[in-house]
Chains A and B, each alone.
Chain A
Amino acid sequence: MKISRTAKAVGYLDEDLIAEAEGTKKNKGLRTWIGWGSLAAGLVLLVTAGAVFVPKLFAKTDAGRYKEYHVAVSESNIIWPWEQLTTGEKYTGAEIDGRTYYSKMRTVTEALTGEKIGTYTISGYDQIGDKEYEIEADAYRIRDVSSNEYVAVQLDGDLYVFRREGYIPPMTLGELFAMADLPKVIKLRQFSENGDGPDTKHFELKDDRYIWDILTECADAAFVEDQDWFAGGSDYICFSVTSEALGVYKNAMYVTADGYLWTNAFDYQYFFEIGRDAASKIIEYSKKNSSGTEYEPYLNAVAGTVTEINETYIMVDDTAICRDPKKGLSYKILLNDKRLTRYVNSGMLKAGDLVQVLYRGGLDEAAMIIDTATQIDRAYLSNGNVSVKE
C-alpha cells in the first residue's frame, strides 16, 4: 500500500494547528454522556454492548445473555451513492434571507410549525458523483423558536429542522431564551445524578415548570467560554434533552452544584454561570419531585448472523453471540426504510454475515419483529468477541 503524499505532508503541519485540534477536545467528564447524546449522528467509538444494547426484554431477566462485545461504528463512514440517499439526507443546506442553515436530519410535525417564510433553494452534494444538486422548497417557521436560528423545510412531504450555521453563542441565558421559548420546546423529564449510563441512578421528574422559572430568573447569567470545563468537579444532575422543534434527541443539560448550566442541545457547547443558589434550588427540587426510573439507552441493538434476506425483511439469529447457544433467538428486521434497503440493494449484506442492527423504540416480543431499525453494521468475530470494522 502506498501512502499518498498529502497524507505524509499532513504529518508536517505546523504544531500549533495540531495542538489546536487536540485542545478543543471535550472533557472526559462529559464524554460518555455526550457520546450517547450525539448518537443522533450515528456514532459510537467503543461501546461495550452487553448492558447497554441488549434488547429491553432481556434487560432484567437475562442481562448476561450476550458475550461482551465492542463496536466501532462503520455506517457513519459509508458514503452512499446519491440515488441511495433519502431526500432528507440529500438536501442538507439552505440559504435563507442571507443566512446559511444546515439540516438536523430530523423531522418535525406540522403542528409545531408556523407560517411559511418563503420558497428557497435547498442544496445537496453528491460526494461520489462530485455534483451539486438544488431544489426549491418551502420553509416554515417553527413555533416558539426564532427563525433566525431554526426553520422547517419541506422535503418530499416531510418537514425537516434546519439550524443556522456558525458558532454565535448567546452571551447570556436570557439571549438563549430569546432564541427559543425553552419551557415550551424542551420538556425536562429524565435525569441522572453524578453520571449517566446503565449503572447510574435515573429519575423521572414530575413537572419541570419550577426549573424553567428558576432559569428564567437567571436571564443575566453570563455565557462562559470554556472548552475544558467538566462536570465531574462538582455534584451535578444531567437531564436528557429531547426537542422535536429543535431537532434534538437525547442530548444533555447539566446543572452543577457549583453553579453552572451546560448543554449541547443547540449543537454547540453552551455554558452559563447561573450561580450556586439557582443551581442548588434546581437540584434540590429535582430530587424531591422525582421518582426512580429505568435507564433508557439511546438505541437498542441486536446482533447475530443473517439467515435470510428478501425484499421485505431480513432474519437475524443471535445464537453465535449468546453465552449459551441454546438461548439463541431469531429476529425479523423489517426493511421498511431506505436506510435499510440500501444495504441489501447495494449487495453489502448477504446471508451468513454477522451484523449488528440498531433500532429505536421497542421490539415486538411476541413475533420478535423489529420495525424501527435504522442501521445495519457488519460485524466480525474476533477472539470470541464481536467487533464492527470501520
Chain B
Amino acid sequence: MDDQRIIELYFARDEQAIRETENKYGKLCFQIAINVLNAREDAEECVNDTYNGLWNTIPPTRPANFRAFAAKIARNLSLKRLEYLTREKRSAENTVPLDELADILPDERYAPGIGDEEVGKHISAFLRMEKPDARRVFVRRYFYFDPVASIAERYSFTTSKVKNMLFNTRKRLKDYLIKEGIEI
C-alpha cells in the first residue's frame, strides 16, 4: 500500500494502519531494533512500541517520508530500551557502535544549551556537504547501526575502506561541530 494511503488510515484512526505498517516496514524496524538490542524478544517489543508511537503521533504529524519516520521511532525506542536494559543489567553485551560516536559529544555536559534535535540538524547539514558515499556509510553505521561488514557488502567496499571512511567522517564531523560553536 502506498505510504500516503497508510498515513490516511492513521488519520482516520483505522487500525488497519498498523497492519499495513507492519507489512511494509515491520522488517525494517525489526532490523534496526535487533541491531541495537541483539535480542529477539526485546527487538519485537520495540517494534510493537514503534507501531504505538506511530499511532500516537499521526495525527497530528503528517510525515513527509513515512519509512524514515518509522525508522526514526524504532531507532529512538531501541536506544532507550538499550539504555534501560544495560542500566538494569538485564541485557546481554551491547554490540552497537556507540563508542565510536562517544568522542564527539559524550554526554549532556557537552553543549548543554542545545537539544539533541538541534545537534541532529547540524549533523544533517554536515552530512549534506559530504560525498554521497561517505554520507550513506555514516547513516548506515550510526542511524541503522549496520555492522561494518554489512555496509561493505551493501556498497561493494572493503571493510577497511568502510572503517577509514567512518573514521574520517567522524573526524570531520567533530571539526564541523566545533566550527559551528557546539561545545565539545
Contacts and interface: CB of A to CB of B under 8 A. Distances in A.
Contacts of A127: 163-164, 167
Nearest to B142: A10
Interface in A84-118: 89, 92-93, 102-105
B56 interface: no
A24 interface: yes
Interface in A1-39: 1-22, 24-26, 31, 34-35, 38
A125 B101 contact: no
A205 B19 CA distance: 49
Nearest to A72: B147
B5 interface: no
Contacts of B135: 17, 20-21
A38 B68 contact: no
A77 B160 CA distance: 9
B150 A45 contact: yes
Interface stretch (A262-270, A332-340, A353-361): A262-270
A44 B148 CA distance: 10
Interface string B91-128: 00111001001101111101100001101111110011
B159 interface: yes
Contacts of A35: 153
A15 B143 contact: no
Contacts, number: 187
A93 to B, nearest CB: 8
Contacts of A42: 149, 159
Contacts of A7: 79, 98, 101-102, 142
A3 B152 contact: no
A390 interface: yes
B63 to A, nearest CB: 7
B139 A21 contact: yes
A214 interface: no
B105 A9 contact: yes
Contacts of B9: none
Contacts of A43: 147-150, 152-153, 159
Contacts of A167: 133
A24 B136 CA distance: 8
B71 interface: yes
B23 interface: no
Contact of A1 (B94, B106, B127, B156): B94
A38 B93 CA distance: 28
B120 A13 contact: yes
A268 B82 CA distance: 35
A19 B157 CA distance: 20
Contacts of B136: 20-21, 24
A41 B87 contact: no
Given A1-B94, A7-B98, A102-B161, A13 B139 contact: yes
A104 to B, nearest CB: 7
B82 A1 contact: yes
Of B122, B128, B150, chain A has the most CB atoms within 10 Å of the CB of B150
Given A4-B106, A43-B150, A77-B149, A125 B116 contact: no
A268 B79 contact: no
A5 B160 contact: no
B28 interface: yes
Contacts of A79: 163
Interface string A254-295: 000000000010011100000000000000000000000000
B68 A5 contact: no
Interface of B: 28, 63-65, 67-69, 71-72, 75-76, 79, 82-83, 86-87, 93-95, 98, 101-102, 104-108, 110-111, 116-117, 119-124, 127-128, 132-133, 135-136, 139-140, 142-144, 147-150, 152-161, 163-164, 167
Sort A-B residue pairs by CB-CB distance and give the 7 closest, nearest first. A12-B120, A43-B149, A1-B86, A15-B68, A9-B119, A21-B139, A18-B68
18 contacts: A2-B83, A2-B107, A4-B106, A7-B101, A11-B76, A13-B72, A13-B143, A14-B121, A15-B63, A15-B65, A18-B65, A19-B67, A21-B139, A41-B152, A41-B153, A79-B163, A127-B164, A269-B156
Given A1-B82, A10-B142, 11 more contacts: A3-B82, A5-B119, A7-B102, A10-B123, A11-B76, A14-B124, A15-B72, A22-B28, A34-B153, A45-B153, A389-B95
